[in-house]
Structure 1
Amino acid sequence: MRSFCTALFTAFVLTSTLSASAQKKQDYTKYVDPFIGTGAHGHTYPGAVRPFGMMQLSPDTRLTGWDGCSGYHYTDTVVYGFSHTHLSGTGIADYCDVLFMPTTGQPQFKNTQYSSAFQKKNEEASPGYYKTHLDKYDIDVELTATTRVGVHKYDFPTTKQANIIIDLQHRDQVLNAWIEVINDHEIRGLRQSKSWAKDQYVYFYAKFSKPFKTYGIAVNDEVKDGLKKAEGKNIKLFIQFDNPGEVLSKVGISSVSAEGALKNLDAELPDFDFKRVEKAAKAAWNVELSKIEVEGGAPPANQRTVPMGMPNPDAAKNPKDKNKKTPPPPDPAKIKPTVFYTAMYHAMLAPNIYNDVDGQYRGLDNRIHYAQGFNYYTVFSLWDTYRAAHPLFTLIDRKRTTDFIKSFLAINQQGGQLPVWPLGSDETYCMIGNHSIPVIVDAYAKGIRDFDAKEAFAAMKATVNRDHFGLGSYVKNGLVANEEKENVSKTLEYAYDDWCVAQMAKMLGEQKDYETYIQRAQYWKNVFNNQSGFMQPHVNGGWLANFDPNEVNNKYYVEGNAWQYAFYVPQDVEGLVNYMGGADKFAAKLDELFTTDAKLTGTVLPDLTGLIGMYAHGNEPSHHLAYLFNFTNTPDKTQLYLNRILNDYYTNKPDGLTGNEDCGQMSAWYIMSSLGLYNIAPGQQQYQIGLPQFAKAVVHLENGKKLTILNSGAVVSRDNIYLQGVNLNKKSHNKLYINHDDIANGGDLEIFTGKLPNRMAMQDMERPTSKITDNKIVPNPTLTLLQTFAPPAQVAIKSNDIEANTIYYTTDGSAPTTSSSVYSKPLPLTAGMTIKAIAVRNGVSSFVTTATFK
């Protein structure tokens, strides 16, 4: 009781102190370090960008390789130039379009010739700003940006040959390009390229603060005299100044036309006031970052801080730095806010506005359209971001979420289906599932309804019934057939999407559709082997022989193995608990996931990182797993593992992300989990209560209300990790979850934590819910060839249900019915025999399982 009273008093003191300090206007950009995630496999970039901006102006230091996906890696020491589009944290390379590079001397056109060394000590980055020094040319470079315009500032040394190289061949495959010199202050052009996006258009229009004295257009790296315009696949240009000192260039981009790029340029930046743009970028970021205010988080114990003047422990990585001393160590009180606000920053780098200032954009049909009354966005990494990034936006960015959904509907109109992974004006079909659907349904369920819900619902149904990527097999057989790669993962993710369609049908009063899709939402049962406890592939009507749950391959699973996908039923966790044999067996299996010392086998995937047992935080299929202990009798383990993930796998270093950032998902997981709120199944209204990382967090809602989350234990030590109790608006909240309506109404959520598990208190707390009770399906039976010592061989037909049922079968190729033979014992096998079987319970039949034995 004494410790509880102390916690209450500490919370009161913290609330009073922090509330007073919050009245002061804060600069949250000082807590953002854009270099976090640029090392290891984070794949982020450090350049200048506005929130959700079309323009991402950043240095390019790496041209190839998986860790060059963003065009930059922290370990690099050579810069090729500064291009205007970049992807944040993807696992596939693209963008890095229209490269500018300042040089001196005779102009060069090959990147190995015009590139320059640079030093980390000369790099600076903050939201909307980047700076470096080019050692080869003694040029200072500064970058800033508006939403659609990038601004370069080059400070040249004294020279009569101060150049800017514009390289349209740089990076990926060029389909076509052209460049035109308009006058001695302006140029324009197009880069049309092919990479991840198969046909990407980037028009640009550039203006310079000083007139250039000469220029030259190079075709195939040779200057052609007298050209003002040239077209081809290898087009480059140099402009040259005579001892200009400082030169600014401002570059507008557009997917529509060079005229569109000029409109963007003139509308957003009519002058060359670099400082004003930088200041405005900072202000824009502060508006976004201040939507969540956090204070008072204990620094993680594993954050290394070396005393000033001591030998640099990283020096061994670069012998030239052996005598370099470390900078002053970071203030421990700023470590947690830095990690948090950098996560906020990363979460808001994508999706990207794609329409020009006049509303025009290039659609997925490669035609020009107008976004009327909304902004059209691209770069939706939906397989990743539906999990935490979009639920975050439904809390703090509802208007933009509406624009996202209107973008989805526009994509559906132009491309014939809802988006999977749209990039520019192309659908990449990257990853699996149809996860724009949970984004729409989650938003609608949480009151975001300024879009045509009936149109959205019709698009959902059309999308999940297309006959591609195994969907035809899924609808026909209740699972994706073995002939389709990644079939187990696809079955599971299609089932979740169908659950979302069912929820939309329910909200719209479409009962017949609800019944159809709530049944399909249970197709996960057709790949769950209740003997092994894993989601397994089917081969010839039975379970895959010699099954290894540790094996990583893309034949059955997507970027993971059977361990991670064993628990991917976010729409029916309680159903999965029952199929695993109850809460205790489910908890034991979940424990084994986190504690096994088994090693990954099969394909080596570099982003299967952040391993705790077989939990892999570096990739998204694991992101909900720690929260599943809340469905068991040991919810304290949710807090235990959240503490470890939050503090060990997110740091304030360049390698501070344990896997690909994935357009905001890795960071959004940290944001939501740091607040102590996580929705494992977007589309439902429950947020699980986890482990708040700050003494105080204030979530500012767009309705003018705010949710204040208090955890006095967070300021004391990272060891205070176990939940002791919860108050909501000063009253006991005896639940391990909070509903969205409670958040939307604002108020105070007080979390009390301590150093020891309080399982007695936890036993009395109401668990979150995730279950399907309607229209239960009967899982498909499986056929197994028995190993016998003497002929004839035999085939067993086994139920895959946890409830009693009757199995009917045929051997003549006909479809089995309840009038067919009833299975009672193994069947003798003859050559070429085809067996078809169904399981029936209470008049409900499974799909037909078919096996042919040669």
Structure 2
Amino acid sequence: MLPANRLKIAFVLLAASLVMSSKAQEKNYVALVNPFIGTGGHGHTYPGATMPFGMVQLSPDTRLKGWDGCSGYHYSDSAIYGFSHTHLNGTGIEDYCDVLLQPTTGAYKWSSEDYKSSFSHKTEKASAGYYSVRLDKYNVDVELTATLRTGLHKYTFPAGTKDGNVLLDLLHHDIVLDSWLEKKDDHTLIGMRQSRSWANKQTLFFAIRFSKPIGKYTVALNEEEKGALQKAEGRNIKAYSTFDVSDGKPLLVQVAISGVSAEGALKNLEAENADFDFESTLKKATAVWNKELGKIGVEGGTKDEQTVFYTALYHASINPNLYTDVDGQFRGTDDKIHTANGFTNYSVFSLWDTHRAFHPLQTIINQKRTADWINTFLVQDEYGGMLPVWELSANETFCMIGYHSVPVIVDAYQKNIRGFDAKKALAAMRRYAESNRFGLPFYMSNGFISNDKEPESVSKTLEYAFDDWCIAQMAKWTGDEQTYVQYLQRAQNYKNIFDPSTSHMRGKLGAMWYSPFDPREINHFYTEGNSWQYSFTAQQDIAGLIKLYGGKQKFAAKLNELFTTVSKTTGRDQADVTGLIGQYAQGNEPSHHMAYLFNFVGQPWQTQSYLHKIFSEFYKNAPDGLIGNEDCGQMSAWYILSSMGFYSVTPGSGQYILGTPVFDKVTIHLENGKQFVISAKRNKPSDFYVQSVTLNGKPHSQSYFLHTDIMQGGELKFNLGAKPNKIWGTADKDLPRTKIDEHLITPVPYFTGNDKKFKGQTSVEIKSIEPGAVIYYAVTPLHGESTNAFFQQYSAPLQLTQSSTVYAYAVKAGTQSKTIVQDFYKLPEDKTVNVLSKVNSLYTAGGPDALIDGVVGEANYRTGEWQSYEGTDFEAVVDLKQSKPITYVGAHFLQDVGSWIWMPKSVGFEASNDGKTFTPLGEVKNEISDKDYTPSVKEFGLPVQTTARFIRVKAINYGKIPDWHPGKGGNAHIFVDEILVR
């Protein structure tokens, strides 16, 4: 028992603690959220009502199509079609916007262009869990709030109105595969909507309950009124319910959704929204949001900075979405119904984006949910046959690249988050990484991906290598040494696409560097970016990457060049590449770790300077306050972590790299009951350079700290000043480090030239990026097979006089690299070609000779063998150098409708002996459907009997892209690769 005086002190301390706790809970974090941030520009967010990680996202729809309408809402719009119940948070592809309701007055209007209403932002309000607006056309005030699985509408009709209508539109937004609607009773509608957009087959059930009895009820099928059908089926169902609102009281509408069944939706409705108390529901939603947002408390900074922070935390608390009914049932990725056992099932995993910062953030503030998400991954593997890549409503969309559920699992496991089967997870990881998907077979056998085998080859090689490092760590922790070694070696494959002559990660066609090379060019070698934005992507082995660049000084110089070079990109237009500082792109995820890399070379003040610039210029309290797509919380999670003063450069390492904090004090309330505080002392608000750091009262000279430091609780203090301190964090012992220093590979050798086609003879030089490596080679006739007996040590450039295949590998310290293979083609010297049309600079196939080199392309336009002619006809003249008997003329063309490439409408051939006067030989019409999306190659050819020196070929372009295609109004491409004259 405590002595009386100590007992009194204990009570005083307890009372003080309770008061502090109560004050923390009383803080209205919701008031600091502005859901309109990101609804303008290219943020692609929505302003409507939702709950933390909830199933329902109840929000207005102002835009039906287009990239900036991916969330269904854009701040620049002035009309609302209605209020639907599912929305995506900042994605780059359209989907969702299911089950649209629109309150109206007067006569029924069935067309969306007729029933939509204008609105003003002056009457629009939004906060976490709440949205309201006035529909000017009908003078109806709309308020929205939500529970986890239901939305609640409140419609206040104009005074004196007798009849108020509510339209239900099941056709709205994407392609409906099937739907049905049933009037269950005078207050209730139930139904199902199955649709296709990004998700190939999204199945959603719903239950709608009105606070007033339905008076008149009318259904329309295919825009034709059918009266009060009790049950309707079809692909275009709309219905009006009319209510007596003459009492002046608002009409309330409850809507529950389910991926399982209409009965499941009704259960969800009964469990979460049994009454029609809007104020009570909103109060509960506000309380839940305050609890979620209160997991991180910030003090100091400006009011706008706090709003940006808490809106970021709000946006990072929306996805993934709950995808489990109240009874535990959910639809799996096998399209069957299952019951969650010991976990909660979720959906909407934008893993290419979110593995970088969003999931590392959640390992700090949402550990229980993180375990649920990982268990969701594992049942998706069990039922659907694979870990998710980009899963949406039980559909794998295969959007983006990599297998980035892996770092999410591994990062969580490294941080001691359990509650899932680690060995089962490792087996699932290996199943994906050893599959035949997306260039993986070539990656495994060759150590890199060539773009003629798989597009976006550089990005895929780099991101696969990081994921493989994560698998290696999981194997090591679970005692699987063989898998550890295998995947640690795969994790070094990034070395195989590093070009020392340019100091860039550079694409290959076959085993040769793609040329001409421009690191600013956005092309099909990279995912939403260019070489600049991928040349610092080896987070698993930054020490090895620095070595490739030639050491810390050269690496730092290249980093500086990244941030200071010209910001203009070249190549194809890529709307995602925004927020440029030099070629660094804050608006897209591949760049997000790069400002922190200065810490790895002892220049942390550079990191601090660029972070301050990003904070100041790219995150604002305005509708266009996000510089790029929100991407399911990643853009915001970057800001949350970075503004607190640190970032997870390498998920799975347990390291956080220090930056510079925005706020005076940040308190993280951990699930284990402890707190971690980050505080900043500065002489004036503009100070951001780190002068010194202490951790739990002790000097901290390292420019990083560990996840365990956070979880143990404590305080990280920054002392900030106006000028950079070029001593702190610069000693070798204080630098963060990721490195692979065992089971090292020997990188593949490379050819120094860039032309696999030659006339007469060519010289082939082979080099290695590995000092001291010995190269071996073999030469066979074209497409011949190599054997060990053919290989000999390389000492000088090879002289080729015939079409040949060259094999090569490198050996160092007894370790042999993968073998590279390259075909070399000797061009015919009995003809030339003159192209009269303008070729697209991204697809030249190396020049005009590609049209007469005898190499016929496959149905893959990215191989480098195809030439493109955009929005114009193709015309060329082949010169045979003398008149010859000709029995056949032809040309090879490609169709890939999904990539805007169509067969020509027709191909005509003409002959001449003087190159001036041409005689028609005939014309071949296209017979392949312009709506056939399967990539295909067709030879347009004619048997002829003539003697001529010149053959002219003219292919007529498909023309403008039609309205039924996503590229409507754009220019079609002609892709040609060979002109045949025999």
Task: Tell me by how many angstroms 1:594 deviates.
Answer: 0.3
Provide the rounded CA distance (Å) in 2 between the counterparts of 1:816 and 1:798.
21
Classify the secondary structure of the residue corresponding to 1:190.
Answer: strand
Partner of 2:185: 183
Larger mean CA deviation between 593-602 and 27-36 belongs to 593-602
**Contact kept? 2:64, 2:72, Cα under 8 Å:** yes
How many angstroms apart in 1 are the aligned matches of 2:224 and 2:506? Answer: 58
Counterpart secondary structure, 2:464 = helix
Contact 1:106 1:161 in 2 (8 A): no
With 779-788 and 150-159 compared, the bigger mean Cα shift is at 779-788
Q: Which amino acid aligns with 2:103?
A: P
Specify the alignment match of 2:774 in structure 1: 806
How far 1:786 moved relative to its partner?
8.2
After superposition, what is the alpha-carbon deviation per residue over 1:657-703, rounded to whole angstroms, capped at 9, x for unaligned?
Answer: 00000000000000000111211110001101111111000011111
Residues 532-585 of structure 1, C-alpha deviation per residue, up to 9 Å, x if partnerless?
1111111232211211111012x2000000001000010011101010000000
- Separation in structure 1 between the aligned mates of residue 600 and residue 416 of structure 2, nearest angstrom: 27
How far, CA to CA, are the matches of 1:33 and 1:93 in structure 2?
Answer: 23
Written as runs of structure 1 = structure 2, the 5 A alignment for 1:786-801 is: 792-801=761-770
1:547 corresponds to 2:523 = no
Q: Partner of 1:5 in structure 2?
A: none
Are the structure 2 counterparts of residues 550 and 786 from structure 1 closer, same or farther at C-alpha, using a change threshold of 3 Å?
closer
Match of 2:428 in 1: 459
* Matching residue of 2:566: 597
Superposed, 1:330-349 pairs within 5 Å as 333-349=302-318
Give the distance between the partners of 1:407 and 1:460, measured in 2 at CA: 14
Contact 2:245-2:251 within 8 A present in 1 as well:
no
Question: What is the CA–CA distance in structure 2 between the aligned matches of 1:485 and 1:25, rounded to whole Å?
Answer: 53
Report which stretch shifted further, 123-132 or 828-837.
828-837
2:798 is aligned to: 827
Given candidates 155, 167, 170, the residue that maps to 2:169 is 167
Match of 2:366 in 1: 397
Give the structure 1 partner of residue 880 of structure 2. Answer: none
Q: Report if the CA contact (8 A) 1:339-1:651 is conserved.
A: yes
Choose between structure 1 and 2: higher strand proportion: 2
With CA pairs under 8 Å and 6+ residues apart, which has the higher RCO, 1 or 2? Answer: 1
* Contact 2:701–2:728 (CA under 8 A) maintained in structure 1: no
Deviations 1:278-326 (A, max 9, x none): 00000110111000000011xxxxxxxxxxxxxxxxxxxxxxxxxxxxx
1:101–1:723 CA distance, 2 compared to 1 (3 A):
same
- Corresponding letter in the other structure for 1:95: Y
Per-residue CA deviations over 1:244-295 (Å, capped at 9, x if unaligned) read 4310010110011100000000000110010111000001101110000000
Q: Distance in 1 between matches of 2:211 and 2:492?
A: 63
Cα distance in 1 for residues equivalent to 2:368 and 2:758 = 69
The answer as to 2:606 corresponding to 1:637 is yes
User: Which of 693, 696, 711 in structure 2 is aligned with 1:744?
Assistant: 711
- Deviation of 1:415 after TM superposition, in Å, equals 1.1
Equivalent pair of 1:584/1:633 in contact (CA under 8 Å)? no
Q: Given the alignment of the two structures, is residue 520 of structure 1 paired with residue 524 of structure 2, yes or no?
A: no
Show CA shifts across 1:200-240 (max 9, x none): 01111011101121110111111113411110011000001
1:45 is paired with a residue whose SS is coil
In 2, distance between residues paired with 1:29 and 1:595?
Answer: 39
| Matched residue type, 1:294 | V
Q: Quick one: which of 449, 452, 455 aligns to 1:480? A: 449
Tell me the residue number matched to 1:282.
Answer: 286
Shift of 1:160: 3.0
Q: Which residue of 2 aligns with 1:313?
A: none
Question: Deviation per CA, 1:491-537, whole angstroms, max 9, x where unpaired?
Answer: 00000000000000111111111100000000000001112111111
For residues 59-208 of structure 1, what are the structure 2 equivalents within 5 Å? 59-157=60-158, 158-208=160-210
Paired-residue identity, %: 54
Q: Which moved more, 1:594-603 or 1:383-392?
A: 594-603
Q: Say if 1:816 and 1:848, in contact at 8 Å, map to a contact too.
A: no
Superposition pairs of residues 340-739 of structure 1, within 5 angstroms = 340-483=309-452, 484-553=454-523, 555-597=524-566, 599-713=568-682, 716-718=684-686, 720-739=687-706
Displacement of 1:19 in angstroms is 8.1
Quote the offset at 1:799 in angstroms. Answer: 1.2
Q: Do structure 1's residue 295 and structure 2's residue 299 form an aligned pair?
A: yes
Q: Distance in 1 between matches of 2:786 and 2:413?
A: 42
- Contact 2:450/2:511 (8 A) holds in 1: no
Q: Is residue 756 of structure 1 aligned with residue 723 of structure 2?
A: yes
Distance 1:634 1:459 in 2: 40
Q: Summarize deviations over 1:86-129 as a string: whole Å, max 9, x none.
A: 00000000000000000000111111111100000000000110
Please identify, of 765-774 and 414-423, the stretch whose mean Cα deviation from structure 2 is larger. Answer: 765-774
Q: Which residue identity does 2:76 align to in structure 1?
A: T
How far did 1:55 drift?
Answer: 0.4
Residues 571 and 770 of structure 1 are in contact (CA less than 8 Å); yes or no, is this contact kept in structure 2? yes
Question: Which residue number in structure 2 is paired with residue 211 of structure 1?
Answer: 213
Partner Cα distance (2:312, 2:44) in 1: 14
Answer whether contact 2:220 2:238 (CA < 8 A) is retained. Answer: yes
CA distance in 2 between counterparts of 1:830 and 1:816 reads 21
Do the aligned partners of 1:124 and 1:130 also contact (CA within 8 Å) in 2?
A: yes
Deviation at 1:814, TM superposition (A): 4.3
Q: What are the equivalent positions in structure 2 for 1:776-791 lying under 5 Å apart?
A: 776-785=744-753
1:231 is aligned to 2:233: yes
TM-score, length-scaled by structure 2: 0.80
Encode CA deviations 1:440-475: one digit per residue, 9 max, x unaligned: 000000000111111001101111000110111100
Conserved? CA contact 1:786–1:794, under 8 Å: no
C-alpha separation in 1, matches of 2:822 and 2:625: 50
Alpha-carbon separation, structure 1, partners of 2:730 and 2:345: 48
- Write the letter of the residue equivalent to 1:639: Q
Cα pair distance change 1:786/1:374, threshold 3 Å: closer
Contact 2:604 2:659 in 1 (8 A): no
| Higher Cα Rg, which structure | 2
Aligned residue type for 1:118: F
Q: For residue 9 of structure 1, what is the aligned residue in structure 2?
A: none
- Residues of 2 paired with 1:132 and 1:415: CA distance? 41
1:794 is displaced (CA, Å) by 1.2
List per-residue Cα deviations over 1:312-353 (Å, max 9, x = no partner): xxxxxxxxxxxxxxxxxxxxx311110000000000110000
Deviations 1:30-77 (A, max 9, x none): 100000010000000000000000000000001111100000001111
Determine if contact 2:451/2:507 at 8 Å carries over to the other structure: yes
Name the residue aligned to 2:867. none
Q: Once superposed, what is the RMSD of the aligned Cα atoms?
A: 1.7
- Residue 256 of structure 1: aligned partner: 260
CA distance in 2 between counterparts of 1:121 and 1:668 reads: 30
Give the whole-Å Cα distance in 2 for the aligned partners of 1:731 and 1:225.
77
Of 39-48 and 775-784, deviating more is 775-784
Q: CA deviation at 1:159?
A: 2.4
| TM-score, scaled relative to structure 1 | 0.92
- Indicate conservation of the 8 Å contact 1:817/1:838, yes or no: no
CA distance in 1, matches of 2:169, 2:759: 74
Contact 2:25 2:291 in 1 (8 A): no
Q: Which amino acid aligns with 1:181?
A: K
Matches within 5 A, 1:294-333: 294-297=298-301, 333=302
| Number of positions where the alignment pairs a residue of Structure 1 with one of Structure 2 | 799
Tell whether the 8 Å contact from 1:162 to 1:241 is kept in structure 2 after alignment: yes
- CA pair 116-19 structure 1, distance change in 2 beyond 3 A: same
Q: Is the 2:778–2:790 contact (alpha carbons within 8 Å) kept by the matching residues of 1?
A: no
Structure 1 pair 247–530 and aligned structure 2 pair: CA distance change class (3 A) = same
- Judge conservation of contact 1:808–1:816 (CA < 8 Å) in 2: no
- Residue identity in the other structure for 2:475: A
Distance 2:592 2:415 in 1: 22
